[in-house]
Amino acid sequence: MPLCKNSDKPKPGDLIEIFRTGYQHWALYIGNGYIIHLAPPGEYACAGSSSLMSVFTEKAVVCRDHLEEVAGNDMYRVNNKYDSRSNPLPVYIIIANAKEQIGEELPYSIVSYNCEHFVTSLRYEDKKSDQVTSAFATAAAVGGMLALFGVAAYMGMSHKKKRRQDERW
């Protein structure tokens, strides 16, 4: 069982974070080894596939799958990280709302409604995704650095060009 170190055994209503290369896939544990999560339509939910195609899809299907099949060899853990900021709904409501959506095709956006948004909306009635927030912060920082390098390069080239013109006079 590929649990992360110091991870609790999942309980119904827990958020499960599955560590993929470069991102995390999120699911909601419903008990007896099963999870509910979003996956692109028509794809088997095994390790990597459920989120690999998510960049290219605008729809996702709510699936009920065995946690071990979805995680594959990837590490996972219970991560109810928003509990300190938001009160979770009662477990029976979380599970009932999740099960009610199995088989539903939902709009999907890696930015505004992804697998983490889906499961947090079930647990807290509020869609949240630190993964998206972190990605935007990183992109903004990289973009800012590239802009500074561009300005510096432009100024250096302008200064060099002006110096050449001054030398000709």
For 95-136, write each residue's pLDDT tens digit. 999 999 999 999 998 888 999 999 999 999 987 788 654 444
pTM equals: 0.72
| Catalytic residue (choose from 4, 63, 66, 115) | 115
Enumerate the H helices of 8-100 as residue ranges.
49-52, 67-71, 91-100
**Are 119 and 146 part of one and the same domain?**
no
Is 159 among the catalytic positions? no
Q: Which two tokens stand for residue 160?
A: 């060099």
**Are 159 and 122 part of one and the same domain?**
no
| Catalytic residue (choose from 4, 25, 66, 117) | 25
| Catalytic residue (choose from 4, 37, 63, 66) | 37
Q: How confident is the model at residue 2 (pLDDT cuts 50, 70, 90)?
A: low
The angle formed by the CA atoms of residues 54, 60 and 63, to the nearest 5 degrees, is 115
Q: In this structure, is residue 2 part of a structural domain?
A: no
Tell me the C-alpha to C-alpha distance, in Å, between residue 168 and each of 5, 154, 159, 164.
69, 21, 14, 6
Q: In this structure, is residue 9 part of a structural domain?
A: no
The parent domain of residue 96 ranges over: 15-128
Mean pLDDT rounded to a whole number for the chain: 79
Q: In this structure, is residue 46 part of a structural domain?
A: yes
**Are 90 and 120 part of one and the same domain?**
yes
Tell me the one-letter amino acid at 154: Y
Is 25 among the catalytic positions? yes
Residues 126-167 have pLDDT tens digits of: 877 886 544 444 444 445 555 555 555 555 566 566 666 666
